[in-house]
Amino acid sequence: MTTTTHDQHFVRYIELADEIAMSKIAAQLAQVFTSGVVYLVGGLGAGKTTFTRAWLHAKGHIGAVKSPTYTLVEPYQIKGQSVFHFDLYRLNDPFELELMGIRDYLDDRNALLLIEWPQKGEPVIPAADLQLTLQIADDDITRQLKIEALSPFGIAALTDLKCDSLQKHIPESIGLEAHK
């Protein structure tokens, strides 16, 4: 863990009371972060796919966003941009990604990659610009969201992110340990 993790410029903690609140923050992120790599971290049912669905709809995707649990990746073309939604939960070996042609996706500098279960894809997947960690609160509905900026792109996006519900208090419960 580095000290920047606790710097207000590089991390945001937001409490999401329901799916509507989640959709709103996903739409705000979609505006300030248009291309690059986003990791979505959190346990089963934490809301990673729900977050991605709201993000893609906010970008202008019309239609379903299904979980790529078995296909590992679902590609989209949204307003001329390539968007790739990964779910690596069932990936047995990260090097399978090479066989799937992940390098081709990475060649597209304008692409947006949203990656669920990124820890299963290391070290083959590209480094994240943003890492989102979702945790289910005791009421089973509220989600605690931690947004970390891990590159200059990510920092620029987080600096531009306006959110009313931004929490100054850093809860101890959301640690980096969860995805290491």
Site of interaction with Mg ion (CB under 5 A): 48-49, 67, 116
Which amino acid makes up residue 33?
Answer: F
Single residue of 1, 44, 64, 99 touching ligand ATP by CB under 6 A: 44
Site map for ligand ATP, 112-141, x if CB under 6 A? Answer: ----x------------------------x
CB count within 10 Å of CB 123 equals 8
Which amino acid makes up residue 170?
Answer: I
Closest by Cα among 164, 170, 174 to 143: 174
- Distances in whole angstroms, Cα of residue 80 to Cα of each of 59, 77, 83, 156, 162: 11, 6, 10, 23, 26
Our finding on whether 110 is near ligand ATP (CB under 6 A) is no
Our finding on whether 49 is near ligand ATP (CB under 6 A) is yes
Please state the closest distance from residue 4 (CB atom) to ligand ATP, in A.
Answer: 26
Our finding on whether 45 is near ligand ATP (CB under 6 A) is yes
| Residue 46 interface partner, choices ligand ATP, Mg ion, none, CB cut-off 5-8 Å depending on type | ligand ATP
| Helix 152-160, helix 19-32: angle, nearest 10 | 120
Single residue of 12, 85, 120, 143 touching ligand ATP by CB under 6 A: 143
**Rg, C-alpha atoms of the chain:** 15
C-beta of 11 vs 72, nearer to ligand ATP? 72
Regarding beta strands 130-136 and 73-78, do their DSSP bridges make them parallel or antiparallel, or are they unpaired?
A: unpaired
Site map for ligand ATP, 77-106, x if CB under 6 A? Answer: ----------x-x-----------------
Our finding on whether 66 is near ligand ATP (CB under 6 A) is no
Single residue of 10, 13, 14, 16 touching ligand ATP by CB under 6 A: 16
Helix (H) or strand (E) holding 92: none
Q: How far is CA 32 from the centre of its chain?
A: 13
Number of residues that bind ligand ATP (CB under 6 A): 18
